[in-house]
Structures are given as structure tokens and as C-alpha cells.
Structure 1
Amino acid sequence: MAENQDEQTERLLRRLVEANDPMRGKQIAAPRRSAAELRQLADQRRANGRWPGANRIGVRMPLAVPAGALALVIGALVLVNVLPSGVGGRAPAPVAMMAAPAALTVQFPGEAEPAGPWLRELALRIARLDEPAGSGRYLYLHVQSWSAQTTATDPKTANEVVARDERLWWAADRSGREEITALPPQPADTALAGWLDGPPAEAPERWETDYRPGELAVVVESPATDPALLAAQLSAHEPFSNGPQAVTRAVASMYRYHEMTPALRAAVLRVLGDTDGLVYRGQVVDRAGRTGVAVSVDSAAGATRDLAVLDPETGVLLSYEQVALISPPRSAVRAPAVISYVLYLAHGRTEQIG
């Protein structure tokens, strides 16, 4: 029986595509994994929503193709199904723009003066503060944090963020408890201020971890109040040789674990004040609505800015954040954009956990 037009067209298309197959006639190496292993991997990816090929372009060809359009159809088939991604003018799939919190409005957003003189003067005032020492077996720390996925190229994960309420109690023997509650992703123009008094009981995800003596790891177990010694301790955590941004990041990390007495706050301010590269951004209102003074440092050839907000009366670090000034390659971030921030809400001593 003679072939009808549909069958003839389909056979011709198949032969032309096969003739342009770059792997035609080449020997394919044996797979490194067994069939059972490959099936297991596929099941895992399907369960995680990462099914291979989910982002690839699919083409459905009609069986009947007008003769005048046959050459265009064949060209499209070869480009889509044969050429690798990025070849022949095929652009990668666009990545959805990430919705990030609005940038803080600082007093001096452009050219700014060095922050050293202000930080050193503040350190002198804080060292003279007469604050009563805290009492209680446990140090209690409360922070809230927000961080964005900055390297995702899959549109399904491009807008993922992690927002958390974190509470930590720990004793001198490094025992204690940590409670972490998941917070909802925030709209671009709001902060986590609605959670400052504690997440609601119906919060969807919450994790509690109890630490036995010696199990809790902290940043700088016993911070020194001598600026030189403290600088050495902080550099062991975040090497200062990496640049001035390492100093601010080490301070931000240490603040998550310690009661910041006036003497320790003064030492921190001295370390920051002796760091070249920090600039004075002036007055700012942080994401918890607190008025402070911002200092910042740019790194990665101007691609990233670290910004710290300090209370000008007490010298306490109120908040800390990182801003992408240049969009990372193949990222959902569209600079300038906030990529992470931390609100430091409480630090002190207590006799009980909870």
C-alpha cells in the first residue's frame, strides 16, 4: 500500500534530523551507574520537583506540513532538538526577577566620609557607660534573619528565600537550647517587624534543638575586651586578610552569641574604627523601626556592600545586611538588591530557658 502524505512527511523529517545528529556514528560509553541506580536518582529528583528536562523546550510537530514551509520546519527541528543550549542563537530560559526587601534609606548614599573617626569617638563614650552587669545562668539571644537565593537559574527556585526567628539560650558549659521558627517570605517593601514580639502559635515550621554540655559551637567563646586581642579572635573566625568586609562580617557573627557589655561593645567599635575601608552613611531607620547610624564597606570589586546599623547612644549593633550592587551571573537578583539581613533584637542573661 502506498504511503499517504502524512507518513511520507514524517519519514522525511525523521531522516533529516537523524542525518544532522552530532552523535551519529559515534560510540557511546557505558553508563557509570546501573539502571537501578538511575531509576532511584530519577525518583528522587521527581519527588524533589527537579525532574530532568523540566526546563527544556518541547516541540510538537503537526503530521501534515505545507510544502512551502517544510524547510523552515526542518531548520527549527535541528536547532531545538540537535544543537546544544546556547548554540545557534538559542538563549537560556529567562530567570524570574527576585522580589527583595527595599533598600534602607541612608543619609549619605553616594560619596561618604571614612567611618573611623566616628567609630573611635563612639568607642570612647561607650567605654565610660555605667551599666549594671546581667545575671542568670543562661545567655539569651534573639535575632531575625532573611536571606535570598542568589545563584538559582531554575525559575522554580529563583525567588526562594529563608526567613527565620531564632532564639538561643546557652550556659558557660556550652549547653542550652535553640528555637528556630520559619517566617513567611516578606513583600519587597516590608520587614519582619510583625514578628518582633514572637511568632504566632500556628507558625507552620518550628525546630527545637537541645545541646548537652560542650555541644554548642559559638563564634569566639570568650571575647576579649582588649581591642587587639579581640581583633585576633575575630580574625581567626573570618580572616581579616580577606579585606575590611571580613571585619564587619566577623562582628556580625559574634553578635549572635554574646551579651554585649559596654566594655565589649567599646572594643568592637575600636576594631571597626581601626579598619580602613568603612564609610559613614549617616542616620538610618532599620527594618525594626529603630533609628541608628549606618557604616558600610564595599567588596568584590564593588559588587557587594556590607552595611551595619549601630545605636549612636549605646553602640549596640542593631542590624546588619548585605546588598548586591552588581547582579551575580545567571542569578535571579537584579541589582541593587538586598540579599540578606539580620535584626538583633535581644541579648542578656536569664535563669531559665523559655
Structure 2
Amino acid sequence: MSGIDPAMTPPDSALGERELALLERVQSTSVHIHNQAGLRPRGTDNGRAARIRRFRVPSFAVVASLIAILVVAATSMSLWPGETPLARAVTPKPLVAVPIGDQQPGSLLQSMSESLGASNQPAASRVRFQNWALAFTPDDPPQSIMPQRFDITTLPDGSTVAERRAAGNFDPAGHQLSGFDYPSPGTLLDRQTYQPGQYGYLFSSPDGVTDWGTYLRTGGGLGAHPSTGDYFTAVKNLLVERSLSSTQHAEMLAFLSTLPDIRIDGTVTDRLGRTGISVSTDSRDPGRTRDVLVVTPTHGVIAYEHVYTGTDRSDLQAPAVIDYDAWF
């Protein structure tokens, strides 16, 4: 929100084109966020249909703040005293890590940074990723996993096209389910076009960035003393709206290699079937959640996972994945 109206902005200043666009996106997304929280908007007879029709803005610019509030609510709140959910929420099985031996996290990330930087690949014009997040609905926990895929393309004229597609319907093991009233994989759910300057970014352009710590703190709104987990989530929020060159990605990994409280979990296969190294931290919310990055020496960060590790939720059994993103 500080990106819309910084503290130094005079109270009576008129909103600029970017600010108006961001405000419009917040308003147009509010119904979707209420639906994700299990609430139906007034005048809507079918909340589920509204979820399918409405575009969920994937850039997390401003909306990131609202989604963060929803995720915090979903992971911080227990069920009301005396209530028992009808069933446990169906969530993806946690990634299975195969240990890779005794290696320091800093050395591993630094080595990957060097390999990635040597490839000298330019930034792509499109950001593509698959996302799934647990909706906080204690009275009706989700019984299947329905991720969605996003394509955010920047055109030569500076305009942006954002598309959202169905990615299937799965059980916890990742097997495709049938018989559910949901669009088939690849079905276009929404498409929006933003004129040059209208697409509200949370992070400024990464071009010319030399201090990645400051860049992630500023764009992620992390404050002066963020945890390593805060930086992991900032990386996730950056990559869902900005494409990095291999050099920029390498520099970001080099910064992450300097952070404390990182654990090497081992080799994993991510949600898109790719092999990478899982590194994680529970520094953001110790004893309750864990932030995970899956990294490779050729593509850098290819996935992010948010895992519930607590004991105070009746609808979840730890460890439970409550949010993931996988880039492709």
C-alpha cells in the first residue's frame, strides 16, 4: 500500500495513472479474495463460478498485501473453539527430499550462482508459472487440488497481457481426477490487457540493480530487519511478476547465499516434474511454517513452497503444503 501513497506524498495530491490502475485492480480483485476466504459477494448466487470467472491478479502488486493477509489468516487462525471440520483439507504431498551429503547452504547457492551467471541468458518477455494456494474454509475444506497457470507477457509497445488458465484437478499424490465440475487443463479462464504503464508492479525493474538485499526489502515491503524466510517470500513475489536475466538471477542467488538459517533438504522433484535442490528456512514463523525454494544451477529458482508445520489447525495435518508456485 505504501507503493500507492508513500508517506512523503501530500495528502491532497491527485492519484496518478499508475495509482488509479492499482486501485482499480484492488477493487476488481476484492470479490475473488473474499471467495478464496469462503465468503460470497452480495448478489452472487454461485461463489464458485465467480472464482472461475474472475481474474486473480498474479503480479501481487498491492494485491500481494491482501493475499498475504489472507495467507496469514489461513495459517495463523485455528478453528473456532468447539468446531470440527467435516474433513481435513486436501493438500499436495510435501516434496520428498533425497539427502545430498554434507554441504553448506552458502557454498551450494554460491556455486549455483556462478554456474547460472556463466550462461549469459537474457530476460524473457514472459513470466509463466503454476500456482496453488489453500483457501481458508474451515466449514468446507477443499477435497481436491486445482492449480492454475498464469502467463504475463510484455509486448514490444510496453503493454502487458495477463492470462489465467486451468491446470487440472488433482489428488494429494498428483494424480488427475475426473468427475469434477471444473474446466479441463488449458482452458482459458481470464485474459486482461494493460496499456503501457497500467500494470502495477510491486517491484521496480531489476535492470541496474546492484544491491539485491535493498531491492528485495523495498519491493517486498520487508522492513529494516527481515528474516531469511521474508527474503524467500520476496523472491517468490518478484518472480511472479518480473523475468530476470541469468546474470540478475545469479546475483540474487549470491545474495541469498549470505543469509543465515538456511537448510539444505536435498534433491527433490517439483510439481512440474523437474529435479532441483530444496533449500528451506523456518525463520519467518518458527514452529508453524517453513519457506522452501527449489533451485538449479541452470535456471536458478524454479519453485517456491509454503509448508504448514504447526499443531494448532484441525483441518491440516503437518507437514502440509499450503501454497506453491512453479515457474516454467
Instruction: Please give the TM-score of this superposition, normalised by the length of structure 2.
Output: 0.66
After superposition, where does 1:248-327 map in structure 2 within 5 Å? 248-298=232-282, 299-312=284-297, 314-327=298-311
Q: What is the CA distance between 1:245 and its match in structure 2?
A: 0.7
On the 8 A contact 1:226/1:267 being kept in 2, the answer is no
Given the superposition, is the C-alpha separation of residues 200 and 47 from structure 1 closer, same or farther in structure 2, using an over 3 Å criterion? Answer: closer
Q: What is the CA distance between 1:306 and its match in structure 2?
A: 0.9
Given the superposition, is the C-alpha separation of residues 237 and 318 from structure 1 closer, same or farther in structure 2, using an over 3 Å criterion? Answer: same
On the 8 A contact 1:227/1:270 being kept in 2, the answer is no
Equivalent residue number for residue 352 of structure 1: none
Equivalent residue number for residue 153 of structure 1: 138
Q: Distance in 2 between matches of 1:259 and 1:46?
A: 36
On the 8 A contact 1:115/1:279 being kept in 2, the answer is yes
Aligned pairs, number = 249
Given the superposition, is the C-alpha separation of residues 100 and 233 from structure 1 closer, same or farther in structure 2, using an over 3 Å criterion? Answer: same
| Aligned counterpart for 2:98 among listed residues 97, 107, 130 | 107
Given the superposition, is the C-alpha separation of residues 174 and 248 from structure 1 closer, same or farther in structure 2, using an over 3 Å criterion? Answer: farther
Equivalent residue number for residue 333 of structure 1: 316
Secondary structure, counterpart of 1:246 in structure 2: helix
Given the superposition, is the C-alpha separation of residues 174 and 222 from structure 1 closer, same or farther in structure 2, using an over 3 Å criterion? Answer: same
Given the superposition, is the C-alpha separation of residues 279 and 170 from structure 1 closer, same or farther in structure 2, using an over 3 Å criterion? Answer: same
Equivalent residue number for residue 142 of structure 1: 128
Given the superposition, is the C-alpha separation of residues 94 and 177 from structure 1 closer, same or farther in structure 2, using an over 3 Å criterion? Answer: closer
Secondary structure, counterpart of 1:210 in structure 2: strand
Q: Distance in 1 between matches of 2:117 and 2:208?
A: 10
Q: Distance in 1 between matches of 2:105 and 2:120?
A: 25
Q: Distance in 2 between matches of 1:158 and 1:185?
A: 11
On the 8 A contact 1:158/1:332 being kept in 2, the answer is no
Q: What is the CA distance between 1:124 and its match in structure 2?
A: 2.6
Q: Which has the larger radius of gyration?
A: 1
On the 8 A contact 2:99/2:265 being kept in 1, the answer is yes
Equivalent residue number for residue 344 of structure 1: 327
Secondary structure, counterpart of 2:213 in structure 1: helix
Equivalent residue number for residue 74 of structure 1: none
Given the superposition, is the C-alpha separation of residues 260 and 94 from structure 1 closer, same or farther in structure 2, using an over 3 Å criterion? Answer: closer
Letter in 2 for 1:300: D
On the 8 A contact 1:104/1:284 being kept in 2, the answer is yes
Given the superposition, is the C-alpha separation of residues 339 and 112 from structure 1 closer, same or farther in structure 2, using an over 3 Å criterion? Answer: farther
Q: What is the CA distance between 1:173 and its match in structure 2?
A: 6.8
On the 8 A contact 2:144/2:172 being kept in 1, the answer is no
Q: Distance in 2 between matches of 1:225 and 1:267?
A: 11
What do the CA deviations read for 1:267-318 (whole angstroms, capped 9, x no partner)?
1101211111111122111111111111111131221111111113x14211
Q: Distance in 1 between matches of 2:150 and 2:173?
A: 22
Q: Which runs of 5+ in 1 are unaligned?
A: 1-41, 50-84, 193-198, 346-354
Letter in 2 for 1:344: W
Letter in 2 for 1:101: P
Q: Give the RMSD, CA atoms, in angstroms.
A: 3.3
After superposition, where does 1:119-130 map in structure 2 within 5 Å? 119-130=109-120
Given the superposition, is the C-alpha separation of residues 98 and 45 from structure 1 closer, same or farther in structure 2, using an over 3 Å criterion? Answer: farther
Secondary structure, counterpart of 1:242 in structure 2: coil
Letter in 1 for 2:127: L
Q: Distance in 2 between matches of 1:303 and 1:173?
A: 45
